């Protein structure tokens, strides 16, 4: 497994490099944003550890560039700023996990193992509906190439709608597929989630069929080939 370690502090880099090598990773190290971006762009890493406070280009910008260029390697963010707003902006840029400094080395290793397990075997058949795409194996969706940030319940709903696109699906059917058996189901649950999905994928893709349920359609003028 190849890992890219991006960290500007010399001591911490040395320690982490040692720990990662001991754990069996092949480690490349970058000490600033430019170098990190170059390495991540040219080498096929399995996982990346990215410090956010970097010289030259900050970590969030590096991550955004990678994601724009289609790099999908899972990224774990290291940040000294423990504020949630920093974590959120890291996730918006495309991070997969975060770790707040100071941290224990064992925890970093555990998180990396989890990330690698998750990303194993990503390439798979995707579902498409107009500009909407959904990758069931990676549990990721996008609209017109922009990644969608969905909660798992929203994802489940979209998945079910996409598997049955063009067909009218009743609320009962949706609620049954949305929740495990022991979940409480109140009557307007589906409306709530359809409302949230519409906010994220655009208002017109999910059609309300009065009295019957919902139907997912591609927008007029959109072809499924995009």
Partner 1 sequence: MTDGAGGSVDDTASGEPRTWGRWFGRPGRSLTRRLIWLASAWIILALVLTGWTLTNQYQESALRRLGHVLSDTIDEVVVSTNAAADGSITVDEVRDEASLRALSGKYWAVAEPGPRGHLRILVRSPSLAGESLTIPDDLPARLAAARGATISYNDPDGLRRGGEGPLGVPLRVAASMKQLPGRTEPVVFLAGVDRSNIDSDTRQFATFTWTALLSLGLGLVIAVFLQVRIGLRPLYALRNEIADVRKGRAARIAHGYPLEIQPLAEQVNRLLDHNQETVERQRTHVGNLAHALKTPLSVMLAEAGAHEGPLPDLVRRQTEVMKAQVDHHLRRARAAARAQMLGEITLIEPVLDEMAVMLERVFEDKGVIIDWRAPDGLAFRGERQDLQELLGNLMENACKWAKRRVRISAGATGLGQMVVVVEDDGPGLPEDQREAALERGARMDESTPGSGLGLSIVVELTRAYGGRISLSDSEMGGLKAVLELPAAQS
Per CB under 8 A, contacts with partner 1 among 108-147 are 110, 114, 117-118, 139
Q: How far is the CB of 100 from partner 1 (least distance, A)?
A: 5
Please tell me whether residue 102 binds partner 1 under the rule CB under 8 A. yes
CA 170: distance to chain centroid? Answer: 29
Please tell me whether residue 158 binds partner 1 under the rule CB under 8 A. no
Indicate the pairing of strand 146-148 with strand 206-209.
unpaired
Instruction: Name which of 81 and 215 has its Cβ closer to partner 1.
Output: 81
Q: How far is the CB of 137 from partner 1 (least distance, A)?
A: 13
Q: How far is the CB of 93 from partner 1 (least distance, A)?
A: 12
Q: How far is the CB of 7 from partner 1 (least distance, A)?
A: 9
The helix or strand, by DSSP H or E, that contains position 213, with its residue range, turns out to be strand 213-216
Please tell me whether residue 203 binds partner 1 under the rule CB under 8 A. no
Per CB under 8 A, contacts with partner 1 among 11-40 are 11-12, 15-16, 18-19
C-alpha atoms less than 13 angstroms from C-alpha of 34 in its C-beta half-sphere: 2
Please tell me whether residue 83 binds partner 1 under the rule CB under 8 A. yes
Size of the chain in residues: 226
Please tell me whether residue 177 binds partner 1 under the rule CB under 8 A. no
Q: How far apart (Å, rounded) are the C-alpha atoms in residues 57 and 50?
A: 12
**Binding segment (CB under 8 A) for partner 1, from list 40-48, 76-84, 158-166, 169-177:** 76-84
Instruction: Name which of 92 and 224 has its Cβ closer to partner 1.
Output: 92
DSSP string, 117-135: HHHTT-----EEETTEEEE
Please tell me whether residue 73 binds partner 1 under the rule CB under 8 A. no
Burial label, 158 (beta-carbon count in 10 A; 0-12, 13-18, 19+): buried
Instruction: Name which of 96 and 165 has its Cβ closer to partner 1.
Output: 96
Q: How far is the CB of 29 from partner 1 (least distance, A)?
A: 15
Q: How far apart (Å, rounded) are the C-alpha atoms in residues 132 and 140?
A: 11
DSSP string, 140-201: EEEETTEEE---HHHHHHHHHHHHTTTS-B-HHHHHHHHS-TTS---TTHHHHHHHHHHHHH
Q: List residues near partner 1 by CB under 8 A.
A: 9, 11-12, 15-16, 18-19, 53, 80-85, 87-88, 91-92, 96-98, 100-107, 110, 114, 117-118, 139, 149-153, 180, 183, 192, 196
């Amino acid at each position: 497994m190849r890992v890219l370690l991006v960290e500007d502090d010399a001591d911490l880099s040395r320690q982490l490099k040692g720990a990662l090598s001991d754990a069996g990773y092949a480690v490349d190290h970058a000490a600033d944003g430019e170098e990190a971006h170059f390495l991540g762009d040219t080498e096929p890493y399995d996982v990346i550890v990215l410090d956010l406070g970097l010289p030259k280009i900050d970590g969030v910008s590096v991550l955004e560039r990678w994601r724009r260029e289609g790099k999908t390697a899972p990224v774990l963010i290291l940040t000294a700023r423990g504020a949630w707003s920093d974590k959120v902006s890291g996730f918006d840029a495309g991070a997969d996990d975060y770790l707040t400094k100071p941290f224990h080395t064992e925890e970093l290793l555990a998180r990396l193992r989890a990330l690698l397990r998750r990303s194993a075997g990503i390439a798979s058949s995707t579902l498409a509906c107009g500009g909407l795409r959904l990758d069931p194996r990676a549990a990721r969706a996008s609209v017109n190439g922009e990644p969608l940030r969905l909660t798992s319940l929203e994802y489940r709903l979209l998945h079910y709608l996409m598997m049955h696109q063009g067909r009218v699906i009743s609320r009962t059917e949706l609620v049954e597929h949305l929740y495990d058996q022991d979940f409480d189901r109140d009557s307007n649950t589906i409306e709530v989630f359809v409302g949230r999905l519409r906010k994220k994928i655009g208002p017109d893709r999910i059609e309300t069929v009065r009295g019957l349920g919902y139907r997912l359609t591609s927008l007029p003028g959109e072809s499924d080939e995009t």
